[in-house]
Amino acid sequence: MRKTRQREAILAVLSGERRPLTPTEIVGLADQAVPGINLATVYRNLKLLAETGQVISVECFGQTARYEVAGLDHHHHFLCEDCDRLFDLPGCVEDFESIAPRGFEVRRHHVQLAGRCDECAAG
Amino acid sequence: MRKTRQREAILAVLSGERRPLTPTEIVGLADQAVPGINLATVYRNLKLLAETGQVISVECFGQTARYEVAGLDHHHHFLCEDCDRLFDLPGCVEDFESIAPRGFEVRRHHVQLAGRCDECAAG
DNA sequence: TTAGCTGCAAAAGCTTTGCTCTGTT
DNA sequence: AACAGAGCAAAGCTTTTGCAGCTAA
């Protein structure tokens, strides 16, 4: 895996922002560092970086997948329905297994809150 | 809103199955009652039925939206990673608001468990 | 009769892929 | 010099839309 300006820019953008970003958001932000960076390049890199464990793909309810840097503690997300930004939430509620029927094997859980972020609520 | 064979079939399929279905699953099942039913018709009807509150759109993490009949109690879903079916879960864990940062307005929450359903786990 | 609805086909939006050229190593 | 990777354009999918004919009311 080579070190390219495009890949560096993508990682820099993901590290710089504190929230999961869509490929389109990423290409817009990375374009400042690497003018003309291509959306296909971003998709290919995100896939590769996800496979090598450097970024995490964040699936959203009813929305395009977003990506964030790997290595964060277990956490969930908050979608602002006004500005459409996705935020990290610090903790986790537990005891999800308890609501699964007998015989079901729970391997993973996804939680997403939605509403208005502090900025939009204040505005 | 007229009563058409196609619309009846879609509602019948949704009532008959006990889990949220994708438009493609629906067109496959409804085709038995209305041969040749078109996918666009299914999409249009689902949209209309959702707007009039007769069906509920179920957003899934990283998957196509599915639909289920309206009027069910508040509940969440379980995705089987083996057979790719989505199941209803009876209850709900509460206290999601507690993990949102100060200033964030929580309006909705989504929970989805994933793993193996009882049939796949037994098989 | 007539306005809503269906089917078909084309369009639209997001993601992936083929190909050629570039640039890292 | 090799070959991973970038850019571009085309292809694939899912979902939406335009249109002409059909059909419930």
Break chain B into its structural domains and give their ranges.
Answer: 5-69, 76-122
What percent of chain B is predicted at pLDDT more than 70? 98
Q: Residue B72, Cα to own-chain centre: how many angstroms?
A: 11
CATH number of A5-69: 1.10.10.10
The alpha carbon dihedral of A43, A46, A47, A49 has a sign of positive
Listed as ranges, the nucleotides of chain C within 7 A of a protein C-beta are 4-10, 14-18, 23-25
Residue A18 has pLDDT above 90, yes or no: no
A59 Cβ contact list (under 8 Å, min separation 6): A65, A110, B61, B62
Residues of B in contact with A102 (CB under 8 A): 118
Residues 6+ apart with CB under 8 A from A31: A37
Instruction: Indicate the range of A53-57, A65-69, B59-63, B70-74 predicted with least confidence.
Output: B59-63
Encode pLDDT of B44-95 as tens digits. 999 999 999 999 999 887 788 899 999 888 889 998 988 888 899 987 866 7
Class for the domain spanning B76-122: alpha beta
User: For chains A and B, what is the number of CB pairs under 8 angstroms?
Assistant: 130
φ and ψ at residue A109, rounded to 5 degrees: -140, 145
Residue A44: band (very low, low, confident or very high) from pLDDT cuts 50, 70, 90: very high
3-class DSSP assignment, residue A87: strand
CA neighbours closer than 13 Å in the CB half-sphere of residue A34: 18
CA atoms within 13 A on the CB side of B75: 20
Q: Percent of chain A having pLDDT more than 70? A: 98
Model's pTM, two decimal places? Answer: 0.86
What pLDDT score does A97 carry?
77
